[in-house]
Amino acid sequence: MTESITAPQTGPTTEHATGTPAVPEPRHGDGHEAAMLLERARAAVDPVLRAALGSLPAPLRRIALYHFGWEHADGSPAGGGTGKAIRPALVLAAASATGGPAARAAAVRAAAAVELVHNFTLLHDDVMDRDPTRRHRPTVWTVFGDTDAILAGDALQALALRLLAEDPHPAGRAAAARLADCVVELCAGQHADTAMERCSPGDVTLAETLAMAESKTGALLGCACAIGALYADADDADVAAMDAFGRAAGLAFQLIDDVIGIWGDPLRTGKPAGADLAARKKSLPVVAALTSGTPAAAELAALYAAPHRKEDLEHIARTVERAGGRDWAQAQAADRMARAMQEVARAVPDPEAAGGLLTLAEFVTRRST
């Protein structure tokens, strides 16, 4: 089933979610359409982002431009690597789906604000997690130091909320409140993640792991979609449905990402298969396996407690699979995607209007890097 989730999609289909573990195929989701949506979002928000970063005092601007991939560490121009603009694209697609082109145009500033918040959390997470690379470049803390990475992140959060505070659109205020709430949830998710990293594997429950993934990954995707709907003046129920759509799609993405982190193709993912196992990460399939109550679960616990040997990785991966971790993650991903489709259908009954959202949901759960 991984094949059907991660292989490039060959074309649109009219099949809908049925509650079976099969991943629903959105009507509008081919890779080309997703790429176009992301490119259009990038083109719309980049001028706003560049203006926002350009307003920073010089030393902070330099750090931020490096992080966004627009400058090298020495301040010379660089040509990109700014990420896929999935979150801005979701803001714009949600605005478009619920309010048409006018709402989409009105939401560009908010889309940039969401992208700024995403990048603020990346800057800080990389400091806390000591991650050395991000988008194939050395992370800010490795180049400029922890202090500059923390300060640049702080400034990006402020820029995001200032963009919304200065937005003359009536939705700006509610969007700012929602984005600030989301920041708190992202912080709680990162807190849970780092706390769980310190736990022994037997002390982590599946419910905790799912809640952490929803806070860390689902919350901002949900917030992006909800903010888009706010700019379309959607009612509370539709805003909530958009939020639920983004959260469900975000969790599906995380589940697929975790599957790829264990069994994925290194040529596609850019990281060696088994990297998450080598790092003893308590990813969703692993925790599902550890808490499965099967004989393979006990075996896996012993393997996770043993010192790291590279030749064990394939054996650990097979053990996770025998304990049901892989099947569980794939079924969960399918369930979340089905839920996402239901939420879209609730808020946007016209399938034509919902197309962009479905395309992006399909894209994030198929992305491989």
Using CB under 8 A, list all residues that contact its own copies: 55-57, 59-60, 120, 124, 127-128, 146-148, 150-155, 157-159, 161-162, 164-166, 172-174, 176-177, 180-181, 183-185, 187-188, 190-192, 194-195
CB of 201 to its own copies, least distance (A): 20
* Closest C-alpha among 284, 298, 271 to residue 368: 271
Whole-number minimum distance, CB 11 to its own copies, in Å? 42
- Least separation in angstroms between residue 69's CB and its own copies is 21
Q: Closest by alpha carbon to 231, among 168, 171, 182?
A: 171
- Output 166 or 236, the one with its CB closest to its own copies: 166
Nearest CA among 181, 189, 200, 326 for reference residue 258: 326
In the complex, minimum distance from the CB of residue 120 to its own copies, in angstroms, rounded to a whole number: 8
**Which residue's CB is nearer to its own copies, number 151 or number 331?**
151
Q: Which is nearer to its own copies, 23 or 116 (CB)?
A: 116
Both tokens of 39, joined, read: 């490119």
- Per-residue tokens: 16: 């809908």
Residue 317: strand, helix, or coil: helix
Angle between the N-to-C axes of helices 31-54 and 108-129, in degrees from 0 to 180, rounded to the nearest 10 = 80
Nearer to its own copies by C-beta: 180 or 331? 180
Neighbours of 269 (CB within 10 A): 17
When the beta carbons of 153 and 356 are compared against its own copies, the nearer one is 153
Neighbouring CB atoms inside 10 A of 12's CB total: 17
Name the burial class of residue 257, with classes exposed (0-12), middle (13-18) and buried (19+) by CB atoms within 10 angstroms of its CB.
buried
165 vs 306, which CB is nearer to its own copies? Answer: 165
CB of 104 to its own copies, least distance (A): 22
What letter represents residue 278's amino acid? A
Reduce the DSSP state of residue 79 to 3 states and report it.
Answer: coil
**Shortest distance, CB of residue 336 to its own copies, whole angstroms?**
22
Cα separations in angstroms, 317 against 201, 265, 313: 16, 13, 6
User: Under the phi-then-psi rule, with left for phi > 0, alpha for psi from -120 to 50, and beta for the rest, what region is 131?
Assistant: beta
The rounded distance, in Å, linking the Cα atoms of 181 and 162 is 15
**Nearer to its own copies among residue 173 and residue 309 (C-beta):** 173
* Nearest to its own copies of 181, 265 (CB atom): 181
Collect all residues with Cβ–Cβ distance below 8 Å to 67 and sequence separation of at least 6.
119, 122, 123, 134, 140, 152
